Structure 1
Amino acid sequence: MSEPHNPPAEQNPPAEQNDDHPTERRHPALIATAVALPVALVIGVIVAASIASRNPAQQPVGLGPVEAPAAESSECTTLMADLPENLGNYERAELRDPAPVAAAAWQQTEGEPIVMRCGLPRPPEFNQASPLSIVDGVQWFEISGAAQGMDASTWYAVDRGVYVALTVPGGSGPTPLQDASAAVANALPAQPIDPAPIPFP
Structure 2
Amino acid sequence: MNVSARRRRRCLVSAPALALLIASAGCSSADEAAKPVVPTPDSKVTELCRNLHKQLPDKVDGLERADPEPESELTAGWGDPAIILRCGVAKPPEMNNPEADGVTVDGVNWLLEEQDDGSFRFTSTLRKAYVEITLPEERAGGGVGPLTDFAAPMKKAIPKGIA
When residues 139 and 100 of structure 1 are mapped into structure 2, their CA distance, relative to the original with a 3 A threshold, is same
**Structure 2 unaligned runs (5+)?**
1-28
State whether structure 2 residue 52 is matched by structure 1 residue 79: yes
**Which structure shows the higher helix fraction?**
2
Q: Are positions 1:117 and 2:86 aligned together? A: yes
> Residue type of the partner of 1:99?
E
Change (3 A) 1:166 1:133: same
Q: Which has the bigger relative contact order, CA under 8 A and spacing at least 6?
A: 2
Give the total of aligned pairs.
Answer: 130
Aligned partner of 2:124 in structure 1 is: 157
When normalised by structure 2's length, the TM-score is 0.69
SS in 1 for 2:78: strand
Aligned residues with identical type, % of pairs: 31
Moved over 6 A (4+): none
For 2:96, the aligned partner's letter is N
Using the TM superposition, give the Cα deviation of residue 131 of structure 1 relative to its aligned residue in structure 2, in angstroms: 3.6
| CA gap 1:64/1:155 in 2 versus in 1, 3 angstroms | closer
Residue 110 of structure 2, aligned match among 132, 140, 161: 140
Q: What TM-score, normalized by structure 1, do the two folds share?
A: 0.57
**What value does the CA root-mean-square deviation take over the aligned residues?**
2.5
Tell me by how many angstroms 1:190 deviates. 1.1
| 8 A contact 1:140–1:158 mirrored in 2 | yes
Structure number with greater Rg is 1
The answer for the alignment partner of 1:105 in structure 2 is 77
Instruction: Tell me, yes or no, if the aligned pair for 2:59 and 2:65 is still in contact at 8 Å.
Output: yes
Match of 1:183 among 145, 149, 153: 153
Task: Give the gaps of 5 or more residues in structure 1.
Answer: 1-33, 37-49, 53-62, 195-201
> 2:79 & 2:57 partners in 1: Cα distance?
13
Alpha-carbon distance in 2 for matches of 1:81, 1:171 = 28
